[in-house]
Amino acid sequence: MFRVLMVQLLLLFISPAIAGPWEDANKAYAAGNFKLALRLFKSLAEQGHAGAQLNLGIIYAEGGEGVPQDYAQAVSWFRKAAEQLRRGRSE
């Protein structure tokens, strides 16, 4: 029983460290922190992450909370995501 409790406590403290930029960006977006989400998604998107590119397109298309609506940026990121997916690369 003690071992189980210790493992659960260990996982509780390690799990935030395990979460990566993708998870962090999605959490920021869900919380309405679009500036942070934009920064985190952009870092991933520049590395070719199609999901991040798609989400950047959505953020720019919708705008809000400190991120200006920019359809040109949105289209650019949507195209990059489509190209990644066309090539078969999702991450």
Structure pTM? 0.72
Q: How confident is the model at residue 2 (pLDDT cuts 50, 70, 90)?
A: very low
Q: Where do the domains of the chain lie?
A: 21-86
Q: Which fold has domain 21-86?
A: 1.25.40
20-75 per-position pLDDT tens digit: 889 999 999 899 888 899 899 999 999 989 999 999 999 899 887 788 899 999 99
Q: Is the dihedral of CA 18, 22, 28, 30 positive or negative?
A: negative
Q: How confident is the model at residue 89 (pLDDT cuts 50, 70, 90)?
A: low
For the chain, give percent helix, strand, coil, nearest 5.
75, 0, 25
69-87 per-position pLDDT tens digit: 999 999 999 999 999 888 8
